Amino acid sequence: MYRSIQKNIFEQAWEKIIQFDWFFFSLICILVCIGLLTIHTVDNSNSNYLFKHFVRISISITLFLFVAFINIKFWYRFAYVFYIGIVGLLIFVEFFGFSALGAKRWINLYFFNIQPSELMKIGVILALARYYQYIKLEEIDNFSKLIIPVFIIFIPFFLVSSQPDLGTGLFILIVCLGMLWLAGLSLKIFITGFFSLLILMPFSIAFLKPYQKERILTFLNPENDLLGSGYHIVQSKIAIGSGGFWGKGFKQGTQSNLEFLPEKHTDFIFTVFSEQFGFFGSVLLILLFFAIILKILNISLKSQNNFSRLVCFGVGFNIFVYLAVNLGMVTGLLPVVGVPLPIISYGGTAMLTTMFALGLVMSAKIHKDHNL
């Protein structure tokens, strides 16, 4: 009787492998391959992006598998520790990080430059999910129960914004708001918050750095400054538009081949893809992303506990925000903020973070029947 309950390690592992969601994993792999393919088209002999990207993908997928097979209980227990650890890294970055482009964002780990603000996106998801696990629905709107989430949200927000990296700061804020909404905070609080934000808006503009103001102005009228910041948006629109329905063909993208596209391997990777594969390919790619998001929704609905559920929703929302901001930017719907396309874009920390987050989702799927 006892033996049958206390399963040995092989039986445990086998159970996990059976629970492993191969459909979800293959969706991720397809996107990873599309990323590799697109990076390949913008690669040249000097940059060697493809190889570096491949190495990062290998590390990220290993991380994904590692996280996936760790029991979700572990993440529940260490959620606050994880969060506080990253807050510590953010403070560390403030003093010891090295700066680039006027912002202190990176920690040099010798083999790898890590961006704690990226990891924070997971940190807040875990911390908020942990916090709302046992808050009763009746108490959720109580003022006393709002104090801790406010701290969880605003400590990283201010730390990241003061780097200065307002984009990522706002990103974290949006993900947190999504979490609060999912946790069941009543609409009244959101509406009050929204209006107080609207009132605060004019004052906050005074705190913006000149380059941030310029970006907003450029977004409002990109054609004004063709060779300055507006250049990015204009060239991106030209590349996407000239792709047409079927695209210019693999490796035939003139805008990217001839260097008219800026940041083509990172933030504007979608443009590169869209120029080559047209409307058809672009819609297919977006649908793949939505398939992943829907799969995450599906996993979260099947979860047995609210922590898993909230984590999964949070991760899904996080990926959606990435996708939305990136696509909005490259198609000229939103201002230029440096947000990569998840899974596809070249870039270390974002890739790791995304795969880590997806690993959490997979973990929730594998351990859905486990109690916390």
Partner 1 sequence: MEYFIPSPKKGSESKAKVISRRAFALTSFKFVFLAMVVSRLFYLQIIKRDEFIIKADKNRFRKWKLAPSRGLILDKNDNIIADNFQVFKIALIPNEIRSIDNFLSSFSKILPITNNEISYYKKKYKVHNKNLPFVLDKNLNWNEFSRLNYVIHNIQGAQPFMSYERTYMYPNEFAHILGYVSTPNQKDLNQIDTNYAGVPNLKVGKIGLEKNSNKSLLGTPGSAIYEVNAFGKRVKNVEKIDGINGSRIKTSIDKDIQIYAYQQLKEKSGSVVVMNMYGRVLCCVSSPSYDPNKFTYGISYKDYDVLKKNEKKPLVNKAMTTTYPPASTFKMIVALSALENKIITKNFRHTCKGKVDLYEQRYHCWKKKGHGRVNLKRAIKESCDIYFYEVARLLGIDRLQKTAFRFGLGDYVFQDFFEEAKGLVPSTSWKREALGKSWYLGETMISGIGQGYIKTTNVQLCKMITQFANGGYQINASFFDSSDLALGKKIIEDDEHIELILKSLFEATNHPGGTSYRSRIAGAMKLAGKTGTAQVRKISESQREQDLKNKDLPWKFRDHSLFTGYGPADNPKYAISVIIEHGGSGSAVAAPIARNIMAKIFEKERKLNNV
* Binding residues for partner 1 (CB under 8 A): 136-138, 140-141, 178, 181-184, 186-187, 227, 235, 237-245, 254-255, 258-260, 274, 278-279, 282-283, 286, 290, 293-294, 297, 300-301, 306, 309-310, 313, 317, 320, 324, 327-328, 331-333
The residues near 57 (Cβ < 8 Å, ≥ 6 apart) are: 32, 35, 36, 351
Say what angle helices 348-366 and 116-133 make with each other, to 10 degrees.
Answer: 20
- By beta-carbon proximity to partner 1, the closer residue of 241 and 338 is 241
* Residue 158 Cβ vs partner 1, minimum distance, rounded to whole Å: 26
Contact (Cβ atoms closer than 8 angstroms) between residue 237 and residue 229: no
Alpha-carbon distance 127 to 284, whole Å? 34
The conformational region for residue 247 under phi > 0 = left, psi -120 to 50 = alpha, else beta, is left
Q: What is the smallest separation between the CB atom of 43 and partner 1, expressed in angstroms?
A: 16
Query: Which residues lie below 8 Å from residue 365, measured CB to CB, with a gap of 6+?
Result: 19, 20, 21, 24, 299, 302
Nearer to partner 1, 38 or 60 (CB): 38
Residue 41 vs 300, nearer CB to partner 1: 300
User: Minimum CB separation from partner 1 for residue 49, in Å?
Assistant: 18
* Residue pointed to by tokens 């959101």: 190
Q: Which is nearer to partner 1, 161 or 306 (CB)?
A: 306
**CB burial class (10 A; 0-12, 13-18, 19+) of residue 25?**
middle
Q: Which is nearer to partner 1, 114 or 285 (CB)?
A: 285
The Cα 147–Cα 231 span in angstroms is 44
Question: Closest separation between CB of residue 57 and partner 1, Å?
Answer: 25
Rounded distance between C-alpha atoms, residue 129 and residue 120, angstroms: 14
Q: What minimum distance in Å lies between the beta carbon of 198 and partner 1?
A: 20
Strands (E), the chain: 98-100, 103-108, 113-114
Beta-bridge partners for 108: 113
Q: What is the largest CA-CA distance in the chain?
A: 77
Least distance from C-beta 146 to partner 1, angstroms? Answer: 15
Q: Please say which residue, 85 or 241, places its beta carbon nearer to partner 1.
A: 241
Q: Residue 63 Cβ, how far from partner 1 at the closest point, in Å?
A: 26
- Please, what is the Cα angle at 119 between 153 and 125, to 5 degrees? 45
What letter does residue 298 receive in the DSSP assignment?
H
Report in angstroms how near the CB of residue 331 gets to partner 1 at its nearest: 5
User: For residues 88 and 244, which CB has a smaller minimum distance to partner 1 in the complex?
Assistant: 244
Q: Between helices 166-183 and 306-330, what is the axis angle to 10°?
A: 140
Q: Considering the complex, what minimum distance in angstroms separates the CB of residue 50 from partner 1?
A: 21
Q: Which residue, 132 or 157, is less far from partner 1 as judged by CB?
A: 132
Q: Show the DSSP H helices in 331-347 as ranges.
A: none
Nearer to partner 1, 117 or 257 (CB): 257
